[in-house]
A = this chain, B = another copy of it.
């Protein structure tokens, strides 16, 4: 379990006090014009660039400590927040300023038979809690999305990035103050260590929504222990199914793109299911290409025998275990299985998927309809790479994370997903008969 169940004495009260101050500050932000929020974001972007040196110095200390503690190259790369990354992140903030403001949008509106006018409008959620990995750009991304949508946010970043986050939040806090907002709108509980995260999970009534991002263990611990409503994000045991009618010329580049374009991300493919009638033809081709990209294969009996018989140079393959079917590798590895029917593919996917994204490669209308309707995941792709599941790619402008649950938000969470609604009834003295 990544987090304990009870925070140390005093931490819970301190975190609740921070959340309550954030909630109070959020009331001003909730009523702020879009122009005011956009000006704030543009100034934050400028201030981050202007403060690059200070942030970089803090990041260098974090990087040194991480290197000494033996952090892997991949994680070190995610931790790095140098001038060029800060500039790119600042551009992301400027982009959020260009996005439509969801606050105030009318979701439904009508006149009731009794003459009341009834409107349902979008409003900010309130105070959002975010528990995430040691990726300093996420601190800025989350802050900009929350501010634009009128929310306050409490952050618990990865311990390894704490100096970088502190320096970054100091810059953001100064801009908030300069614009007349309480810097408590974007605050970190990092100084409480893990107890800060545990306290956030207990702070029902103080924090409105908790979004955990990171490893499966962390997310599971938050989901199981939080008394605050949670949105699960990011676990992606992503499947691609090649149908008997699939265009193999489309299938190959889609599979290679989905598996190898970036392996450490949640929308990367992890499993390949191939219909038995095309397995003999297609598996040697795809196994060859995956091997060229350095992908290790975990194959079921049928796939294993076809692939091994193909005599591929440098092939790295082993029999798939039941655990493989449930594993999100986040690495150059892929599970491969031969299925005898579309329904076998769908049942396997619904049994093992994390509900993120699945794809079908098919030219058969009925099969596509059946796959897209029966698959129970946030996103279903037809003849396209699973790597497109992304707020930016979907035209949402940016995303806080990708929800793999069904409540509130499903799939990429943009600004709209950071709002709730309020019903307002305008009457002239109506009473109920």
Residues in A lying within 8 Å of B, measured CB to CB: 27, 30-31, 110, 112, 114, 116, 118, 120, 125-126, 204, 208-209, 223-224, 227, 229-231, 247, 249-250, 253-254, 256-258, 261, 372-374, 376-385, 387-389, 393-395, 405-408, 410-411, 420-432
Q: A254-B431, A432-B387 are in contact. Are A112 and B406 (CB under 8 A)?
A: no
Given contacts A261-B432, A430-B384, A432-B388, contact A118 B394 (CB under 8 A): yes
Please name 9 further chain A to chain B contacts, defined as beta carbons within 8 Å, in addition to the given A381-B424, A407-B420, sorted by A numbering: A112-B394, A114-B388, A120-B411, A204-B224, A250-B428, A261-B432, A379-B425, A385-B430, A388-B427
**Smallest beta-carbon distance A272→chain B, Å:** 15
- Point out the residue from B247, B372, B374, B395 that lies within 8 Å of A424, measured CB to CB: B372
Give Cα A112–Cα B412 distance, bound, in whole angstroms.
Answer: 15
A249 to B374, CA, bound (A): 57
Known: A30-B373, A224-B227, A407-B407. A385 touches B431 (CB 8 A): yes
Chain B residues, Cβ within 8 Å of A422: 372, 377-380, 410
Chain B residue at minimum C-beta to C-beta distance from A255? B431
Cα distance A255–B372 when bound, in Å? 51
Contact check, B425 vs A382: say whether CB atoms are below 8 A apart. yes
> Are B374 and A425 touching (Cβ within 8 A)?
no
In the complex with contacts A376-B126, A423-B394, A257-B224 CB distance below 8 A: no
Most chain B beta-carbon neighbours within 10 Å: one of A30, A112, A424: A424
**Chain B hits for A384, CB < 8 A:** 116, 425-431
Q: Shortest distance in angstroms between A51's beta carbon and chain B's nearest beta carbon?
A: 32
A429 to B381, CA, bound (A): 10
A406 to B409, CA, bound (A): 12
> Could you give 30 example pairs across A and B, Cβ below 8 Å?
A110-B395, A112-B395, A116-B384, A118-B394, A118-B395, A120-B411, A126-B406, A229-B229, A229-B405, A231-B407, A249-B429, A250-B429, A253-B429, A254-B429, A254-B430, A258-B431, A261-B431, A261-B432, A378-B423, A379-B423, A383-B427, A383-B429, A385-B427, A385-B430, A385-B431, A387-B431, A387-B432, A388-B432, A410-B420, A411-B421
- Is A407 within 8 A of B126, CB to CB? no
Measured CB to CB, the nearest residue on chain B to A411 is B423
What is the distance, in angstroms, from A25's C-beta to the closest C-beta of chain B?
14
Q: Which residue of B lies closest to A256 (CB)?
A: B431
**A224 smallest CB distance to B (angstroms):** 5
Q: Which residues of B contact A258 (CB under 8 A)?
A: 431
Neighbouring B residues of A224 by C-beta, 8 Å: 204, 227
Contact call A407/B227, Cβ cutoff below 8 A: no
Number of copies: 2
CB-CB nearest in chain B for A350: B27
Please give, as numbers and ranges, the residues of chain B lying within 8 Å of A393 by CB-CB distance: 112, 432
Contact call A429/B247, Cβ cutoff below 8 A = yes
Tell me the smallest distance from the CB of A370 to a CB of chain B, in Å: 9
Q: Which B residue sits closest to A118, measured CB to CB?
A: B394
B385 touches A208 (CB 8 A): no
A401 CA to B116 CA, complexed, in Å = 22
How far apart are the CA atoms of A394 and B407 in the complex, in Å? 22
Smallest CB–CB gap between A284 and chain B, Å? 21
> Please, how many angstroms separate the alpha-carbon atoms of A75 and B263 in the complex?
59
Q: Which residues of B contact A223 (CB under 8 A)?
A: 204, 227
Least CB distance from A33 to B in Å reads 12
Of listed A223, A393, A407, A432, residue having the most chain B CB within 10 A: A432
Knowing A380-B423, A425-B379, the reply to whether A431 touches B253 (Cβ < 8 A) is yes
Tell whether, in the assembled complex, residue A209 and residue B407 are in contact, meaning their CB atoms are under 8 Å apart.
yes
Most-contacted residue by chain B among A223, A247, A384 (CB, 10 A): A384
Partner of A420, one of B229, B380, B406, B428: B406
The 7 closest A-B pairs by CB, nearest first: A384-B427, A257-B431, A250-B429, A406-B420, A387-B432, A408-B408, A384-B430
